[in-house]
């Protein structure tokens, strides 16, 4: 979709498209209210700015639409489709990796009381596992900040996909 097409969507259609990127009301409202955008860069800049200001409650609420790394996507239809594409680097046939991810996910959930969220797009299963193992050493405040950052990266990359842009040309998630 071109930026002009996004600008022309009615509010309900655009809100649904934005919620597929991340289901956070303040972010959706800010991006809806920022129209019309002169270009994709202006939209992505606003998206990044609002993502960095999400509250802990907003971040934790948005986790419900994300599957565990290495598991089948859940949540909304659009969100599940995004997750399936993003986790393409996790080889479902690698049973050792799958078991280590499963055990790591459980350890993370036991330690932090929520799912492990990481930007999976462009990363291999081994990279995702290594990040998971590193993050298990974080304290709660650090880990919540990392989760906010990762959720923001996911939302921006999904917005880049919505606009059918090359992430390299827009600076990626930042």
Topology of 3-169 in CATH? Answer: UraD-like (1.10.3330)
Half-sphere exposure of 174 (CA within 13 A, CB side): 14
Per-residue tokens: 78:
């659009």
Contact 160, 44 (CB under 8 A): yes
Res 32: pLDDT: 97
Residue extents of the structural domains in the chain = 3-169
Distance CA 111, CA 137 (A): 10
Q: Which candidate, 75, 171, 56, 66, places its Cα nearest to that of 117?
A: 66
Res 94: pLDDT: 77
Distance CA 12, CA 40 (A): 20
Res 72: pLDDT: 56
Kindly give the confidence (pLDDT) of every residue in the chain, 174 residues in length, as a single tens digit, with 9 standing for 90 and above: 999 999 999 999 999 999 999 999 999 999 999 999 999 999 999 999 999 999 999 999 999 878 887 665 555 555 545 544 555 456 667 789 989 999 999 999 999 999 999 999 888 989 999 999 999 999 999 999 999 999 999 999 999 999 999 887 776 554
What is this structure's pTM?
Answer: 0.84
Half-sphere exposure of 84 (CA within 13 A, CB side): 10
Q: Can you say how many angstroms the Cα of residue 149 is from the centroid of all Cα atoms in its chain? A: 9
Res 91: pLDDT: 62
């Amino acid at each position: 979709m071109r930026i002009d097409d996004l600008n022309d969507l009615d509010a309900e259609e655009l809100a649904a498209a934005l919620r597929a990127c991340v289901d956070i009301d303040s972010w959706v409202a800010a991006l809806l209210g920022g129209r019309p955008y002169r270009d994709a860069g202006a939209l992505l800049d606003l998206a990044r700015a609002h993502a960095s200001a999400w509250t802990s409650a907003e971040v934790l609420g948005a986790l419900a639409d994300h599957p565990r790394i290495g598991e089948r996507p859940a949540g909304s239809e659009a969100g599940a489709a995004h997750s399936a594409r993003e986790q393409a680097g996790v080889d479902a046939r690698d049973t050792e990796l799958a078991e280590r991810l499963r055990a790591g996910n459980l350890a993370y959930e036991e330690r932090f009381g929520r799912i492990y969220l990481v930007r999976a797009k462009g990363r291999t299963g081994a990279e995702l596992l290594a990040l998971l193992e590193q993050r298990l050493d974080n304290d709660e405040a650090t880990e919540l900040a990392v989760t906010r950052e990762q959720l923001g990266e996911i939302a921006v990359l999904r917005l880049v996909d919505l606009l059918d842009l090359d992430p390299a040309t827009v600076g990626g998630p930042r």
